Amino acid sequence: MSLSCRYAAQCCARQLRAAPIRASSSFLLQQQQRQQPRATRRYNSTDAGSANPKIAAIVDQISQLTLLETADLVASLKSRLNIPDLPVGGFAAAPAAAPAAAPAEAEEADAAPAAAEKTLFTVKLVSFDAAAKPKVIKEVKNLLGLSLVDSKKFVESAPKVMKESVPKDEAEKIVATLKELGAVAALE
C-alpha cells in the first residue's frame, strides 16, 4: 500500500471513529460495543503489577529512566546477579550448546588429573597458496558464516585467528581441510 493510500485509509478510519453514531446504524453500534470490552480487558491486564506496591514502585522508577540509564541498569544487574551475556543467537543457540556442554564437562573431569592436557584450541589461518585462494575463501565463508566479500578480506589479511575455544577434534578437522585446499593453518 503506498503512502498516500495508507494515509487516506487512516484518515477515513479516524473520521469513522470520531463521527457520532446514528441510532439507525446497528452495525456501527455492535462494532463499538465489541471494541469496548476488549479495550477494557487490555487496560486491566496491565494492572497485574499493582498487586505488590514494592514491585509497582520499582516499575515506576524504571519507566522513568532514559535509554542510557536503562543500559547501565541492565549491565549492573547482570554483573551483580552473575548473568552471562547471551550470544547473538540467544535462546536459539543455547539448546544446541547444552548437549555439547555435557561431554565437555565429562572431559574436563577426566582432564583434572592430567591438567597438562589442553582441550580447547584457537585455529589461526597463517598463509595460503595464491592458486588456491578462491577455494580457501569459499571454505572460510562456510566455516565462519561470513559473506563472500568479508571472507575474501579475512583471507587476504592472513595471518588471522579464525576460531577460538574450539574442541581439539574440530580444530584438527578444520586444519586438515585447510591444508587440503592449500592453506597453512595452526593450532594455538
Q: pLDDT tens-digit profile of 87-135?
A: 655 454 445 545 554 455 545 555 444 445 778 888 888 888 888 888 8
Q: What is the pLDDT of residue 39?
A: 46
Residue 164's pLDDT band (cuts 50, 70, 90): confident
Check the CA dihedral 17-22-25-27 and report its sign. Answer: positive
Reported pTM: 0.38
Residue 61 has pLDDT above 80, yes or no: yes
Helix residue ranges, H only, the chain: 3-18, 26-45, 53-63, 67-80, 93-111, 133-144, 148-156, 168-181
pLDDT per position as a tens digit, 128-158? 888 888 888 888 888 888 888 988 888 888 8
Contact 152, 137 (CB under 8 A): yes
Please compute the mean of the pLDDT values over residues 53-79 and round it to a whole number.
87
Identify which of 120, 83, 81, 85 has the alpha carbon closest to the alpha carbon of residue 100.
120
Q: What is the pLDDT of residue 115?
A: 47
Least confident window among 47-56, 57-66, 91-100, 122-131: 91-100
Q: Which has the higher per-residue pLDDT, 184 or 113? A: 184
CATH code, residues 120-187: 3.30.1390.10
What's the confidence (pLDDT) of residue 23? 47
Q: Looking at residue 50, what is its pLDDT? A: 56
Per the prediction, the chain carries an average pLDDT of 73
